[in-house]
Amino acid sequence: MHSKDFDIVVDPVSKIEGHAELDIRVRNGEVEHVKLKINENKRFYTQTVRGKNFNSIPQLVSRICGTCSIAHLNCSAEALEKALNVELSDQSKLLRKLSMYGLNIRDHAMHLYLFCLPDIFEKDSVLDFEGEDAQWIKDAFEVKAAGNALSTLILGRAVHGMFAQIGGYAKVPEKEQTRQTIEKLKSVRQRVLKLIDIFYNRDFKFNRKTNHVCLITKDYSFLEGEVQSSTGICIPEINYWDHLERVVIPYSQAVGYKFDKGDYMVGAMSRMNMNKSALHPETKKDAAKYLSVFPSDNIYHNNLAQAIEILHCIDHSIEILESSAFVAEKKALPQGKESKGVGVLEAPRGTLYYMMELDGTGTIKFANIITPSQQNQINLEEDFRQVIPAMLDRDKHDIEHELEKMIRAYDPCFSCASHFLKVNWI
Amino acid sequence: MLQKIKELFVGQPKKTKLNVGVFSFTGDEGCVITFLEILNYKLDSWNGRVNFQHVRVMKKMNALDGLDVAFIEGAISNRKELEKLVEIRQKAKKVVAIGTCAINGAPSNHRNFFDEEKRKEILPVLERFHHLPSVEPIGKYVKVDAEVPGCPIIEEKFVEIMENYIKEFGVE
């Protein structure tokens, strides 16, 4: 780029839900503004759930996101269970963990193999991989299928799972299907180690210190614990609102968030930076070399963290499935009452919050849903602000590609993480 | 010229691949995710016979021209989507609505049923981002040749329709 005055508009062609546009204005070599426009909530789910009976909520909000429907299913159920004082059985807790593992294996694998890997091989699509590289296509679909098999075992299907209920599960895993799922998980373990290695060896780099926030979970199961920040703050789930500040971003259909008035990051890298000691022993053993990278400030290590999380999900799932005999349990039948509950979990892309307020008949009066992509919005904008000045002398196509790569490092949501950003230079 | 003469004597060259596009409008992308899950077990078999020429979740270089079949998920909620839909219909020989949002609008169309209070709340967003008055299935605006029901889509039905088109278009 030879001019010191230019505008960049990164605009997706037609992808709608969850899409992002990027608008950058540089004057006199200075970045004047960076606007990341995310469209995530425009189906108005926070309004939609109001007035509905609590029983219909998990299946309804599952439709917020096809990619991580299981996270919305589980988080809304948790909020309602807390509101209605429903205690999950030990078996149901395990099943919920397994459903999070199935989700993370499939979701991370899709993102790493289908969206990020082509950047490493400098190809447009994983479908274009040829010769020796074509083995990665097989890896992609085998690992994804293993995660899918686990979700199907627990929930009946991988997208909008059917067996999860408030307070329990309508169906428990069958023996033969459990055995097959264990085999499948074991069979992809080597492929996942190969995936971790390629992301470890990738030399993409952008370092910036930021505040990392995540749930600190004892067994790294994405579900329990307290919200902690790398600045040392620890918050019980119920007090989540004390530290989050909603920031209305006029050009975006999604609001952004600040944590204790500052920008912050959520997601796999935050979890790995703050909680790697809780990973499964087998994962820690086989990924020791890669784990030494964390804590890291290099945003591209978010992808390495995702790859390591796939391994953890596989290892812990195998252990749970091999050591459990699942039996049908009596279902909880919660009754509606005037109450309020908060659910917090780690979705693949970071901390997901659900707050539900019910009236005496069990009708939702108010709901607050905070998704990871909203929370990362301000941090990603700040990264762009800092990375662009160093690229001003580079070719247009190059800058555009670098920015896309950075978006994919964040994995902000299904659509913006993929390869379809159209960049218009004005 | 040579090609024309050849065609006169031996007929049209056999079609070697079905040109397919997968598109996404307002929805949660669950059907496109499910499409990616179908590829876990169908990619090998389709790879030689299907040209995925427009699948934005998997590639940046996408082409609309010469499309045989467009699989479309999601409902139509703003003008930009509507224009794109019409363009796809013009370019594609067959259009398949995949998933309930594309087929009947739900569950992306909750706002169509909002009361006055909720309508007021969302109005500024609708205006700022040029939404249409209501969220509608694709069939309201263009001709749809086939449907894959489900939320998300029923995998077997998607596979069946793809394979029927592979046959119908004479892919060898």
Predicted ipTM? Answer: 0.89
d(CA A310, CA A286): 13
Residue B121 has pLDDT above 90, yes or no: no
DSSP-derived 3-state class of residue B70: strand
Instruction: Compute CA B163 distance to the chain's CA centroid, rounded to the nearest angstrom.
Output: 16
Nearest CA in chain A to B48: A127
The residue ranking higher by pLDDT, A17 or A381, is: A381
* Residue B91 to chain A, least CA–CA distance (Å): 15
Cβ atoms of residues A371 and A347 within 8 Å: yes
Angstrom CA distances, B74 to A58, B87, B152, stand at: 20, 16, 11
Amino acid sitting at position A36:
L
More confident of the two residues B35 and A408: B35
Cβ A145–B37 below 8 Å, yes or no?
yes
Q: What percent of chain B has pLDDT over 70?
A: 92
Type of residue numbered B42? K
CA distances from residue B24 to A196, A312, B100, B111 in whole angstroms, order as listed: 31, 32, 13, 19
Cis ω for the linkage preceding B107 (within 30 of 0): yes
- Enumerate the β-bridge partners of residue A12: A421
**Cα gap B2→A410, rounded to integer Å:** 53
* Residue B11 confidence (pLDDT) above 80: no
Q: Residue B122: what pLDDT?
A: 86
Checking if the pLDDT of B5 tops 80, the result is no
Query: Chain B residue with minimal CA distance to A138?
Result: B40
Task: Judge: B60–A114 Cβ closer than 8 Å, yes or no.
Answer: no
Query: Which member of B34, B81, B108 has the closest CB to residue A43?
Result: B108
Burial class (CB in 10 A: 0-12, 13-18, 19+), B128: exposed
Pick A38 or A361 by higher pLDDT. Answer: A361
**Does residue B112 register a pLDDT over 90?**
yes
Q: What is the pLDDT of residue A338?
A: 97
Per-residue pLDDT tens over the stretch A363-407: 999 998 888 888 888 898 889 888 888 888 887 778 878 888 888
Tokens of A16: 């709608």
- Give the CA-trace dihedral at A214, A275, A212, A41, to 10 degrees: -30
The single residue listed with the structure tokens 């039996």 is A327
Separation in Å, CA B145 to CA A23, A224, B138: 38, 48, 11
Instruction: Quote the CA–CA distance of A117 and A351 in Å, as a whole number.
Output: 25
Query: In whole angstroms, what separates CA A245 from the centre of its chain?
Result: 20
Burial of A123 per CB tally in 10 Å (0-12, 13-18, 19+): middle
Contact B85, B77 (CB under 8 A): no
Alpha helices (runs of H) in A127-260, residue ranges in sequence order: 135-155, 175-187, 189-201
Beta bridge partners of A422: A11
Q: pLDDT tens digits, residue range A149-197?
A: 999 999 999 999 999 999 999 999 999 999 999 999 999 999 999 999 9
**Residue B148 to residues B72, B89, B158, B160, Cα–Cα distance (Å):** 10, 17, 6, 10
pLDDT score recorded for residue A6: 72
Chain B nearest-CA distance from A278, in A, is: 30
For A145, the closest chain B residue by CA position comes to B40
Chain A partners within 8 Å of B57 (Cβ): 114, 414-415, 418-420
* B23-33 residue pLDDT tens: 999 988 899 99
| Structure-block tokens of residue A11 | 């605009």
The pair of three-digit structure tokens given for residue A121, joined into one six-digit string: 């091989």
Residue with tokens 């070399």: A289
Residues from chain B contacting residue A119 (CB–CB below 8 Å): none
Which residues in chain B are closer than 8 Å to A17, comparing Cβ atoms?
24-29, 74
Does residue A247 contact residue A378 with C-beta atoms inside 8 Å?
Answer: yes
